[in-house]
Amino acid sequence: MRFAFAPYTLRFRNPAGTSRGVLLEKPTYLLKVFDENDPSRFGLGEAPVFPGLSPEAGPGYELKLIELLANVALGRPTDLSRFSSIQFGLEQALLDYSLGCRGLYYPSTFTAGKSTVTINGLVWMGTLDEMLGRIEEKVQAGFKCIKLKIGAIDWEKEELMISSLRERFPADTLEIRVDANGGFPMDAALPRLAWLASMGVHSIEQPIPAGNRELMAFLCEVSPLPIALDEELIGISETEDKVRLLDTVKPRYIILKPALCGGFSGALEWIRLAGERGIGWWITSSLESNVGLNALAQFTASLSPSIPQGLGTGGLFTNNFDSPLRLDGQLLGYDPNRQPDRDYFNSLEWRI
């Protein structure tokens, strides 16, 4: 078995506003495993490293990929416990290879084109008018669950946006989720949570910065609005540390990005531990290309989720790859007759 990787830069169709600034492009790495006697057949995956969010992002990232390349050739294990995105991509490549190198990772009724996954409509940060326009587009497209990224404009304007949205669409017709990405000042968090609850908001992701565990535990205990942990999970790989976090903070939900929480295997452990404690969850993508998004959608579908998931649709980038995923309103489906041209990937600059 051999391993190779190829860097790739994804370019945003429109500037993407986040609490960490505006993104114009995003690096990622494609990974493949293959038999050196038949390199035309390869398992494909993606390691979607996220500078500023992925703890492993930095000068040592490609060195770890080179280490993995050498160890695979020698048949030796590689410690990826601190390299979540590489773990995620390697799991994809191995699954694809083991299932015939056809872009199948978790075969199911979803990959047979017979079932779908309900997703939320993500509204990126922007000016008030931009966000209101994006909300209107999502509602008109048929989304019944909208996720708003907040924290980029004045809180008063965000209040206006949410209240006007709620006036038009009551809670029984439109579910509103918000993601603060840790952007609330600590002294303002509780009043804002109370106001959001009064607007019938479903939940909030990461209201305050990660790492303030005692304060987060207090907010989860007293907040009238359900709190979901997101960034708080990043970088935690040991089972006992996961247990300690869940038992200390006691969130209502956890948000799982396999690229940031230990790959598919790490996400499954989080789900098991959360289920034992009555904590809900949903899966969210983390700006993967269509390679990683395809695998992530298949994984999510295999779990038969009962609430809307946070999967992307692949439309953010101008230079994305072809995908079998299709979107019909809020329903993400899979077209088994629409597979990307795998020969295209051979043209990339693979490091072997």
Full domain range(s) for residue 87: 2-103
Strand partners, 7: 29
229 in a structural domain: yes
112 in a structural domain: no
Decide: helix, strand or coil at residue 282: strand
- In this structure, the answer to whether residues 300 and 156 fall within a common structural domain is yes
Strand 21-35 relative to strand 2-18: parallel, antiparallel, unpaired? antiparallel
pLDDT of residue 314: 85
pLDDT of residue 129: 87
- In this structure, the answer to whether residues 44 and 163 fall within a common structural domain is no
Q: How far apart are CA 141 and CA 247, in angstroms?
A: 39
- In this structure, the answer to whether residues 30 and 151 fall within a common structural domain is no
Burial group, residue 216, by CB count within 10 angstroms (0-12, 13-18, 19+): buried
348 in a structural domain: no
345 in a structural domain: no
340 in a structural domain: no
342 in a structural domain: no
Total domains in the fold of the chain: 2
**pLDDT tens-digit map of 312-342:** 988 889 999 999 999 999 999 999 999 888 8
- In this structure, the answer to whether residues 164 and 207 fall within a common structural domain is yes
Backbone dihedral region for residue 239 (phi beyond 0: left; psi -120 to 50: alpha; all else: beta)? alpha
Catalytic residues: 149, 257
Q: Which residues of the chain have pLDDT under 50?
A: none
- In this structure, the answer to whether residues 95 and 147 fall within a common structural domain is no
Which residue blocks in 126-279 are alpha helix, DSSP H?
128-141, 155-168, 189-198, 213-222, 239-249, 263-276
Q: How far apart are CA 249 and CA 272, in angstroms?
A: 17
Q: Are 88 and 259 in contact (CB under 8 A)?
A: yes
pLDDT of residue 99: 97
- In this structure, the answer to whether residues 90 and 221 fall within a common structural domain is no
Q: How far apart are CA 192 and CA 45, in angstroms?
A: 40
**pLDDT tens-digit map of 207-230:** 999 999 999 999 999 999 999 999
- In this structure, the answer to whether residues 145 and 197 fall within a common structural domain is yes
pLDDT of residue 220: 97
**Final residue before a domain boundary, out of 75, 103, 131:** 103
pLDDT of residue 278: 98
197 in a structural domain: yes
- In this structure, the answer to whether residues 187 and 284 fall within a common structural domain is yes
